[in-house]
């Protein structure tokens, strides 16, 4: 049976161990464990309905009653904790009678349509009727719920209250696991019902469609529509979500090669059985009609596509690369790896470029999000990654969330964070916009430092000023764990008056008193943790802010143990992995510089080829070189630079200037509209490999169906490499991982065998840490001298300033239901929640411009202009406007500029000076885009004909 076992109540961890006797068997469990769970551990299944091990016990159904020697009555075993020497009886006639009576009551108000019910075979009510030996139902209630109306409003699941047994598992799941509190239990006794708000449909309620209630429901009341339509799955394969950097583990429940549902895996260490709407439900894109399954070529982007065999496509691509290199030189070609593909695939692409193309012109989409994290944390801590596992947040007392929106961007971690906040941890939000976490059920941020976009460095330095000047430094930590000379220099730098909250107020717009109080709060608890996102990195001073965050954590001793740390929330599923795998032009896998002769020699020996010692081109430099005429061909795997990179005009012009653009993707994306070779890739369901999430956790991705186009992406790269004359002969991705492990010290102990054994592994995993590393820098930092290095972080204002012409600042972000460029989520029912990007504008700014909700507004920057519908809201502060960027026709990146982080070229997406006006027509760019897209679709249609 592929279903997880349910122990009835959650596991308890306690130092005290209790031994008791259940039906004559000895059970030894931690104190606080329920009798129900203790029985399950020795193989005794006490009937239950309202209890499940993902939720705290509730004790409402009374099916789990037991008798305790010397005790009175029949207590519920789910709510009764074990005691030393206790003797429990779980089965006798009296107990059986009570249980049968309970079941009779339930069944008397239940439609007896088991044979045609979608849950048939997967229904706990049905199982319990069998377990208690129910043979007849004596009660005939006058009123029943059998005619209660179903709610089908949610695109993914149905709610049929006629089957509800009011066990409240759904209500508790929504509260305890998801933290949304969308469901209520109304009325008492027989009249009680569950609902998503009075007379409200699920789609009109607060529900965020995470699926936790569906997962918890023991009957067919809350049920996936796909199961209703297709029937029960018959086998399951464990794999990892391909959306965000949380890296949730899932069981793909299948019928043959068809995915029926994705069920969050209880043993998944990143998600512990929870999910969000994307991973749980939005997987239909994998078999969407838009999937490209035939390789295609064309000489010019004005020509129709020509479908060809794989061999022809690969030979054509290789011949073009060879032709271009012969004509324009070795360095005229390059490639882009994908943070959505597996580690093994990313490793192979950079290997192809370095060894096959013979240059280091490789870059990754991670450039445009977290490259400042790599730079900043490497400089300060010696390693380019977050310091904690997600579970660490449960030990934090104060949590800073800076430039991140976890409930939308990293929803499962967002739920865990909310749980910790409901337990009493304090929250400091540093964000220009009022993200949901600022005020959500039972959670209220202690401080929301609503800073002006682009002023992060001034803010983080002002917080440090308070820590230093008010003697809140953890002197012992600094003395023993950090580079003291750098600390002294930093201390002298920080105490300069212009770093004080009072002076910084003019820059950040945040009252000094709030900054002082927030700094004290963070610095005076035992465990302070910082979580940050792209609101920190995607700035002209992104790397500086990351170093500022690291300084603050070191100065307060908030590193190296559970409950603390510096934690970048990675955007895409494998951003961490693509960086680890050597996707940047200056680094081999494991962040080792290409100019280092020893490292190079290691790779030259393994790869049997001479390697270039000079760093290659970054993505923006590739574009520049293309426009100058020296960069002519690009191999782009699983990345849509034409939509995702800033300054769209510039990117499109650069792509048009190239002679051969090879796109490998599952859809004909925006970049493919500029391509000459299209290689149809595979979705995560069609391949085997690994993803590395934001906690450095390497998790298995396992093929659940065959690649629709015939090959997994690593196989396509291998074909291309062989056609270019650089041989690759892997027959399974595990061999690629073995090579990675042999060449990368932090992966040395990683193998498929170990991943299968442990479920997942957090790197570093080597002889020093054979089981991996949940928390980093526990004894010393990973810099050569083992000490944390303080860096100076002077605030330099971005050149992107508001002017009379562009008086507002535009900042961007993601929304829960959509994902990045939207290529996947736009092809799912998630569009029911977000079918277009809107411009959030403060009522005051809207009124000044005569704009009301839903008006079309033009957003103009020095880079370009686009048009969106307005959403007038106080979530944004006056002077700031905000939009998401999930739809290509929105052209959010038409307006973003080519400004970038000084150290890493990460684009300054979060700060663009704009003017907003009411308009009545699409922008010129949008009209051009519509025409161009139309042409490309016609060229595609012609080729299909």
With CB under 5 to 8 Å by kind, the binding choice for 55 among ligand FES, ligand SF4, none is none
Q: Which is nearer to ligand SF4, 274 or 452 (by Cβ)?
A: 274
Count, residues near ligand SF4 per rule CB under 6 A: 42
User: Is residue 51 involved in binding ligand SF4 (CB under 6 A)?
Assistant: no
Residue 59 as a binder of ligand FES (CB under 6 A): the answer is yes
Q: Which residues, listed in sequence order, are joined to residue 254 by a DSSP beta bridge?
A: 235, 259
Q: Is 822 in the site for ligand SF4 (CB under 6 A)?
A: no
Q: Which residue has the tokens 């002889």?
A: 767
Q: Shortest gap between Cβ of 121 and ligand SF4 (angstroms)?
A: 17
CB atoms within 10 A of CB 320: 21
Half-sphere exposure of 744 (CA within 13 A, CB side): 28
What DSSP state is assigned to residue 878?
A: T
Distances (CA, A) of 362 to 55, 342, 585, 751, 880: 47, 16, 5, 26, 36
Gap between the Cα atoms of 740 and 698, Å rounded: 13
Edge-to-edge strands of the sheet including 296-297?
A: 306-307, 296-297, 677-680, 660-665, 633-637, 333-337, 362-364
- Closest C-alpha among 708, 642, 732 to residue 342: 732
Output phi, psi for 480, to 5 deg: -90, -25
| Cβ-proximal residues to 97 (8 Å cutoff; 6+ apart), any chain | none
The H helix count followed by the E strand count for the chain is 30, 36
Q: Using the rule CB under 6 A, is 66 a contact of ligand FES?
A: no
Decide whether 169 or 272 has the Cβ nearer to ligand SF4.
Answer: 169
Residue 201 has phi, psi (to 5 degrees) of -85, 160
φ/ψ of residue 121, rounded to 5: 95, -10
Helix, coil or strand: residue 87: strand
Candidates 95, 174, 737, 872: give the one binding ligand SF4 (CB under 6 A).
174
Tracing tokens 């429940």 back to the chain, one arrives at 253
The distance of closest approach from Cβ of residue 69 to ligand SF4 in the complex, given in angstroms and rounded to an integer, is 32
Q: Scanning residues 266 to 295, which ones bind ligand SF4 (CB under 6 A)?
A: 271, 275-276, 278-279
The residue (of 418 and 842) whose beta carbon lies closer to ligand SF4 is 418
Q: Residue 902 has which token pair?
A: 């000084």
Name which of 76 and 437 has its Cβ closer to ligand FES: 76
Cα 572 to chain centroid, rounded: 6
**Which residue has the CB atom at the shortest distance from ligand SF4?**
279
Query: Least distance in Å: CB of 644 to ligand SF4?
Result: 17
The length of the chain is: 945
d(CA 240, CA 707): 17
Q: Is the Cβ of residue 166 or residue 765 nearer to ligand FES in the bound state?
A: 166
SS3 of the chain: helix, strand, coil, percent, to 5: 35, 15, 45
* Residue 169 interacting with ligand SF4 (CB under 6 A): yes
User: Would you count residue 221 as binding ligand SF4 (CB under 6 A)?
Assistant: yes
- What DSSP designation does 566 have? E
- Name which of residues 654 to 713 contact ligand SF4 (CB under 6 A): none
Residue 243 binding ligand SF4, by CB under 6 A: yes
**Residue 895 interacts with ligand FES (CB under 6 A)?**
no
User: Out of ligand FES, ligand SF4, none, which partner does residue 336 contact, by CB within 5 to 8 A per kind?
Assistant: none
Given 31, 32, 42, 62, the residue binding ligand FES (CB under 6 A): 62
> In this complex, which beta carbon is closest to ligand SF4, that of residue 158 or of residue 936?
158
Q: Does 288 bind ligand FES (CB under 6 A)?
A: no
Residue from 109, 90, 92 nearest 148 by CA:
109
In whole angstroms, what is the distance from residue 514 CA to residue 519 CA?
Answer: 8
Nearer to ligand FES, 9 or 500 (CB): 9
Which of 27, 29, 38, 49 is close enough to bind ligand FES by CB under 6 A?
Answer: 49
Binding of residue 263 to ligand SF4 (CB under 6 A)? no
Q: How far apart are CA 942 and CA 945, in angstroms?
A: 5
- Does the protein bind ligand FES through residue 64 (CB under 6 A)? yes
Q: In the complex with ligand FES, which residue's Cβ is closer, 131 or 758?
A: 131
- Complex with ligand FES: residue 33 or 562, whichever CB lies closer: 33
51 binds ligand FES (CB under 6 A): yes
Residues forming a β-bridge with 440: 443
99 binds, among ligand SF4, ligand FES, none (CB under 5 to 8 A by kind): none
Instruction: Answer yes or no whether residue 787 interacts with ligand SF4 by CB under 6 A.
Output: no
Binding to ligand FES (CB under 6 A) within 520-559 occurs at none
When asked if residue 102 is in the footprint of ligand FES (CB under 6 A), the reply is no
Q: Give the integer Cα–Cα distance in Å for 104 and 120.
A: 19
Among 40, 46, 76, 167, binds ligand SF4 (CB under 6 A): 167
State in angstroms the smallest separation of the CB of 521 from ligand FES: 41
Q: Does 825 bind ligand SF4 (CB under 6 A)?
A: no
Q: Of residues 86, 118, 212, 662, which one binds ligand SF4 by CB under 6 A?
A: 212
Residue 244 in contact with ligand SF4, rule: CB under 6 A: yes
**What sections of 64-160 are H helices per DSSP?**
93-108, 124-132
Minimum CB–partner distance for residue 164 and ligand FES (Å): 15
Q: Would you say 359 and 333 are in contact if contact means Cβ atoms under 8 Å apart?
A: yes
Range in contact with ligand SF4 (rule: CB under 6 A) among 136-144, 219-227, 387-395, 396-404:
219-227
Site membership for ligand FES, residue 48 (CB under 6 A): yes
Q: Which stretch binds ligand FES (CB under 6 A): 54-62, 91-99, 373-381, 746-754?
A: 54-62
Of 127, 197, 131, the closest CA to residue 165 belongs to 127
Between residue 19 and residue 38, which ones bind ligand FES under the rule CB under 6 A? Answer: none
CA 748 to chain centre: 26
Rounded to a whole number of angstroms, the distance between the first and last alpha carbons of the chain is: 47
Quick one: which of 63, 286, 401, 612 contacts ligand FES (CB under 6 A)? Answer: 63
Taking the complex as a whole, the smallest distance from the CB of residue 916 to ligand FES amounts, in Å, to 56
CA distances from 723 to 351, 392, 729 (A): 15, 47, 12
> Which among 642, 122, 255, 95 is positioned nearest to 634, based on CA atoms?
642
Q: Which of residues 769-828 bind ligand FES (CB under 6 A)?
A: none
Smallest gap, in angstroms, from Cβ of residue 197 to ligand SF4?
10
Determine if 223 is a binding residue for ligand FES (CB under 6 A). Answer: no
Look up tokens 């308009």; give the residue. 919
Strands (DSSP E) contained in 198-289 are: 222-224, 235-240, 249-255, 258-264
Question: What is the closest distance, in whole angstroms, from the C-beta atom of residue 442 to ligand FES in the complex?
Answer: 25
Cα torsion for 21, 27, 29, 31, to the nearest 10°? 0
Q: How far apart are CA 364 and CA 345, in angstroms?
A: 13
Structure tokens at 41: 């551990």
Is 411 a residue that touches ligand SF4 (CB under 6 A)?
yes
Question: H or E segment at 336?
Answer: strand 333-337
Beta carbon of residue 247, minimum distance to ligand SF4 (angstroms, whole number):
5
d(C-alpha 357, C-alpha 296), whole Å: 22
CB of residue 76 to ligand FES, shortest distance in Å: 4
Counting contacts by CB under 6 A, is residue 816 touching ligand SF4? no
Q: Which of ligand FES, ligand SF4, none does 268 bind, CB closer than 5 to 8 A by kind? A: none
Minimum CB–partner distance for residue 269 and ligand SF4 (Å): 12
Please tell me whether residue 78 binds ligand FES under the rule CB under 6 A.
Answer: yes
Pairing outcome for strands 235-240 and 439-440: unpaired
Q: Which is nearer to ligand SF4, 544 or 690 (CB)?
A: 690
Q: Which residues bind ligand SF4 (CB under 6 A)?
A: 164-170, 173-174, 178, 180, 182-183, 194, 196, 207-213, 216-219, 221-222, 241, 243-244, 246-248, 271, 275-276, 278-279, 410-412
Q: Which residues bind ligand FES (CB under 6 A)?
A: 48-51, 59-64, 76, 78
């Amino acid at each position: 049976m592929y279903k997880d076992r349910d122990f009835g109540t959650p596991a308890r961890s306690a130092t005290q161990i209790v031994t008791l006797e259940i039906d004559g068997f000895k059970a030894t469990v931690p104190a606080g464990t329920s009798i129900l769970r203790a029985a399950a551990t020795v193989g005794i299944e006490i009937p239950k309905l309202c209890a499940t091990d993902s939720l705290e016990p509730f004790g409402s159904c009374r099916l789990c009653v037991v008798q305790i020697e010397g005790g009175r009555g029949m207590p519920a075993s789910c709510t009764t904790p074990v005691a030393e020497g206790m003797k429990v009886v779980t089965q006798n006639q009296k107990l059986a009678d009570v249980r049968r009576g309970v079941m009779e009551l339930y069944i008397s108000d239940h439609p007896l349509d088991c044979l045609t019910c979608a849950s048939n075979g997967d229904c706990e009510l049905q199982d319990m009727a069998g377990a208690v030996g129910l043979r007849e139902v004596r009660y005939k209630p006058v009123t029943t719920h059998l005619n209660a109306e179903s709610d089908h409003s949610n695109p993914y699941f149905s709610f049929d209250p006629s089957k509800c047994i009011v066990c409240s598992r759904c209500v508790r799941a929504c509260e305890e696991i998801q933290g949304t509190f969308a469901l209520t239990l109304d009325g008492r006794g027989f009249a009680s019902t569950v609902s998503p708000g009075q007379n409200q449909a699920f789609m009109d309620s607060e529900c965020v469609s995470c699926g936790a209630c569906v997962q918890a429901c023991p009957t067919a009341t809350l049920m996936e529509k796909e199961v209703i339509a297709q029937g029960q799955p018959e086998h399951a394969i464990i794999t990892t979500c391909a959306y965000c950097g949380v890296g949730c583990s899932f069981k793909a429940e299948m019928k043959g090669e068809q995915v029926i549902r994705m069920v969050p895996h209880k043993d998944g260490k990143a998600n512990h059985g929870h999910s969000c709407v994307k991973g749980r439900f939005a997987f239909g894109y994998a078999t969407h009609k838009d999937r490209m399954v035939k390789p295609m070529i064309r000489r010019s982007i004005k020509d129709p596509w020509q479908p060809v065999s794989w061999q022809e496509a690969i030979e054509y691509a290789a011949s073009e690369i060879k032709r271009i290199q012969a004509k324009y030189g070795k360095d005229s070609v390059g490639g882009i790896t994908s943070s959505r593909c597996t580690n093994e695939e990313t490793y192979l692409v950079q290997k192809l470029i370095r060894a096959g193309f013979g240059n280091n012109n490789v870059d990754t989409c991670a450039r445009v999000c977290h490259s400042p994290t790599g730079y900043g944390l490497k400089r300060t801590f010696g390693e380019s990654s977050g310091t904690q596992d997600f579970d660490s947040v449960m030990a934090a007392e104060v949590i800073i969330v800076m430039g991140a929106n976890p409930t939308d961007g990293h929803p499962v971690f967002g739920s865990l964070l909310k749980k910790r906040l409901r337990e009493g941890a304090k929250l400091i939000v540093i964000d220009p916009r009022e993200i949901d976490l600022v005020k959500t059920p039972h959670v209220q941020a202690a401080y929301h430092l609503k800073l002006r976009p682009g002023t992060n460095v001034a803010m983080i330095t002002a917080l440090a000023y308070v820590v230093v000047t008010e003697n809140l430094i953890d002197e012992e930590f600094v003395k023993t764990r950090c580079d003291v000379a750098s600390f002294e220099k930093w201390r002298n730098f920080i105490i300069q008056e212009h770093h004080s909250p009072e002076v910084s107020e003019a820059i950040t717009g945040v009252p000094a008193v709030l900054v002082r109080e927030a700094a004290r709060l963070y610095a005076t608890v035992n465990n302070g943790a910082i979580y940050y996102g792209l609101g920190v990195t995607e700035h002209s001073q992104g790397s500086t802010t990351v170093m500022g965050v690291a300084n603050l954590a070191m100065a307060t001793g908030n590193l190296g143990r559970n409950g603390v740390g510096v934690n970048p929330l990675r955007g895409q599923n494998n951003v961490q992995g693509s960086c680890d795998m050597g996707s940047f032009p200056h680094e081999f896998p494991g962040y080792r510089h290409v100019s280092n002769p020893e490292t190079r020699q290691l790779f030259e020996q393994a790869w049997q080829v001479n390697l270039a010692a000079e760093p290659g081109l970054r993505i923006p430099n590739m574009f520049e070189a293309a426009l100058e005429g020296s960069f002519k061909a690009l191999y782009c795997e699983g990345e849509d630079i034409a939509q995702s990179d800033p300054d769209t005009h510039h990117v499109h012009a650069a792509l048009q200037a190239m002679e051969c653009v090879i796109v490998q993707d599952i859809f004909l994306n925006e970049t493919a509209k500029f391509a000459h070779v299209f290689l149809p890739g595979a979705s995560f369901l069609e391949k085997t490999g690994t993803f590395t999430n934001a906690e450095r956790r390497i998790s298995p991705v396992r093929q659940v169906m065959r690649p629709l186009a015939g090959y997994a992406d690593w196989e396509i790269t291998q074909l291309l490499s062989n056609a270019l004359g650089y041989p690759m002969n892997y027959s399974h991705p595990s061999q690629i991982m073995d090579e990675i492990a042999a060449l990368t010290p932090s992966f040395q102990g990683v193998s498929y065998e170990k991943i299968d054994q442990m479920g997942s592994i957090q790197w570093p995993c080597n002889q020093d840490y054979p089981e991996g590393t949940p928390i980093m820098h526990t004894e010393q930092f990973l810099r050569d001298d083992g000490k944390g290095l303080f860096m100076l972080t002077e605030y330099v204002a971005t050149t992107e300033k508001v002017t009379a012409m562009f008086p507002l600042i535009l900042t961007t972000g993601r929304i829960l239901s959509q994902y990045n460029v939207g290529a996947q989520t736009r092809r799912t029912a998630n569009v029911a929640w977000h079918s277009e990007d809107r411009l959030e504008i403060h009522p005051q700014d809207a009124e000044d411009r005569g704009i009301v909700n839903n008006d079309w507004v033009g957003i103009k920057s020095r880079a370009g202009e686009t048009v969106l519908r307005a959403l007038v809201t106080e979530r944004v502060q006056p002077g700031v406007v905000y939009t998401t960027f999930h739809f290509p026709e929105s052209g959010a990146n038409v307006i973003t500029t080519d400004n970038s982080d000084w150290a890493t070229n990460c684009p300054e997406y979060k700060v663009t000076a704009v003017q907003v006006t009411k308009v009545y027509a699409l922008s010129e760019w949008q009209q051009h885009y519509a025409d161009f897209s139309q042409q490309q679709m016609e060229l595609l249609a012609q080729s299909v004909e």
